[in-house]
Amino acid sequence: MRHPPNTPGEWLLLLGICAGLVFSIFAFLFFLLIVGPWIVDRFGSHGPQDEHEQRLFQESAEFRSRWQHVQLWQVPYAELACEASRCGQIISILEKRRTGPMARPANDELINQISWYRTTMTTIQQAMAYVTAHGGEPQLPPHGTGLNYPQ
């Protein structure tokens, strides 16, 4: 059986071993807290969704470029409905990113994107209501506004 440390050197060695053990535990926990969420975010459930997310953003950008010089009330209702649905899905994706494990406390870029897509979705829904109210055919702009995209 080993006797307890008697000399200052033995106490110093025991203290060093304990300090090293405590440091190792804290370093491991720090690593898990910092790198763990990144690993979960990178290799977790986002894999299959990445293509879907990219396609949503791409199709939304294509919609905006295709109809950028046209008043929204002139766009076919089916395309407006598809874009409104895409905007809703994109808002959900951005909200998850804003509140996910890798989210920064004040991510202004995400907040601005969410706000922009919400405004866009509201504008598109107004255009859809206008088109529906007028038989689905392009008419004169409502109240002279034209319902353009928000700037």
As a whole number of angstroms, the distance between CA 19 and CA 115 comes to 50
Two structure tokens written together for 10: 């033995």
Count of domains for the chain: 2
Same domain, yes or no: 148 and 122:
yes
Domain range for 12 is: 1-44
Same domain, yes or no: 69 and 29:
no
Which of residues 30 and 5 earns the better pLDDT score? 30
Same domain, yes or no: 82 and 26:
no
> What's the pLDDT at 148?
52
pLDDT at 51 over 70: yes
CA–CA–CA angle 95, 118, 49 (5° rounding)? 40
What is the per-residue pLDDT across 109-137, written as a single tens digit (0 to 9) for each?
888 999 999 999 999 999 999 888 887 65
Same domain, yes or no: 99 and 33:
no
Mean pLDDT along residues 41-60: 75
> What's the pLDDT at 102?
65
The answer to whether the CB of 99 falls within 8 A of the CB of 69 is no
What would the DSSP string read from start to end of the chain? Answer: -PPPP-SHHHHHHHHHHHHHHHHHHHHHHHHHHHHHHHHHHHHSTTHHHHHHHHHHHHHHHHHHHHTTTS-GGGS-HHHHHHHHHHHHHHHHHHHHHHHSTT--TT-HHHHHHHHHHHHHHHHHHHHHHHHHHTTTS--SPGGG---PPP-
What is the per-residue pLDDT across 58-106, written as a single tens digit (0 to 9) for each?
999 999 999 988 888 888 888 999 999 999 999 999 998 888 766 666 6
pLDDT at 20 over 70: yes
Same domain, yes or no: 150 and 77:
yes
> What's the pLDDT at 60?
94
Same domain, yes or no: 10 and 58:
no
> What's the pLDDT at 99?
83
Same domain, yes or no: 103 and 135:
yes
Mean pLDDT along residues 21-47: 78
In terms of pTM, does the model score above 0.85? Answer: no
Same domain, yes or no: 61 and 28:
no
Same domain, yes or no: 81 and 32:
no
